[in-house]
Amino acid sequence: MPNTYQIVVCGGIVPNPLQSLEPVMGPTGPALKNEMMLPAVLDPWAWHALFEAADLARRHPGSKVWLVSMSPKAKLQQVMMSVAQKAAFDLVVVDGPATGFVDAAETAGALANAVKAIPGLDPAQLLLFGGWQSASRGTGAVLQMIGEILGIDEQFQGVDRLSIDDSGTLEILERIEGGAWQKSRCNGAPAVLGWATGNLPEPPNNPQIGMQNMRTIMPALQRATPAALKGDGPTYDSVESPKQRRETRVETEMNTDAIADEITAWLKG
């Protein structure tokens, strides 16, 4: 019997990385200046996870892909106009903030509840995909927490390749130090895979897939459930952009050995 999978990709939206971001203290806590005006994109690591999920579903007929996102639904709708043309998926929306200032545990809890509420989801066929890192928080903690909440113990982070043999055994390449990979084997689903960059190129736009997706995306946005965030996580006294620091000293009579000694002392210090 062919292997079929139910693949859930967790991914939020982030401001376009080419934009200059300025943190400010808002009435409800830290935020980004003019955040709702900034152009947004799907988190780059979640992009790779979605590409891999779509490719896996294509290679295993009968498999299905869901994209679960906690984001402001007005901004998410704009992003979906381009994402929808890349891969076939069903969208599940949790209407909530997408900044890196939201507690990771609360975010994981809201997303896990959204995954549990997917109609007909079979935990025995579940592959939970997402980004190894995040452009909004950079911790890579949310996906691991979702897996723990869902009771999935087989977790792999920094994944670059997933292969599945006829028996359903997963062979996974995870990044480790020194530009090498660790090869792991897992008997099958369920499993959590936090993707690095993978090895697939960005799919071309497909207007037919886009139109097919938009038939379900718009109703999903209308059904978006508000995120029940208590705000009991970390608090911030202030937020500010890192300051550029440059100290220059002009020396005209130092020899190379003295320069090397000073640089070495600075590095050690």
Mean per-residue pLDDT, 146-154: 94
**Lookup: tokens for 149:** 């909440």
Decide: 88 and 50 in contact? Cβ < 8 Å: no
User: Phi and psi dihedrals of 258, rounded to 5?
Assistant: -65, -40
Domains of the chain, earliest start first: 6-226 (3.40.50.620)
Taking CB atoms within 8 Å and a gap of at least 24, the contacts of 247-255 are: none
Q: Among residues 217, 162, 168, which one has the least CA distance to residue 193? A: 162
| In the predicted structure, residue 208 carries a pLDDT above the cut 80 | yes
Q: Among residues 51, 42, 136, which one has the least CA distance to residue 82? A: 42
pLDDT above 70 covers a percentage of the chain that reads: 91
- The answer to whether the predicted template modeling score (pTM) of the entire model surpasses 0.85 is no
Mean per-residue pLDDT, 227-234: 70
> How open is the CA angle 48-49-55, to the nearest 5 degrees?
90
Min mean pLDDT across 4-8, 28-32, 49-53 is at: 28-32
Mean per-residue pLDDT, 81-86: 89
Q: Is the dihedral of CA 192, 139, 17, 180 positive or negative?
A: negative
Decide: 25 and 48 in contact? Cβ < 8 Å: no
Residues present in the chain in total: 269
| In the predicted structure, residue 1 carries a pLDDT above the cut 60 | no
Q: Which residue has the higher pLDDT, 143 or 235?
A: 143
Query: pLDDT tens digits for 252-268?
Result: 888 889 889 988 998 88
User: What is the band of 56 on the pLDDT scale with cuts at 50, 70, 90?
Assistant: very high
E-strand spans in 144-223? Answer: 155-164, 170-175, 181-186, 191-195
Instruction: Report residue 263 CA to chain centroid gap.
Output: 39
**Cβ neighbours, 10 Å, residue 261:** 12
- pLDDT on residue 137: 62
User: What is the band of 231 on the pLDDT scale with cuts at 50, 70, 90?
Assistant: low
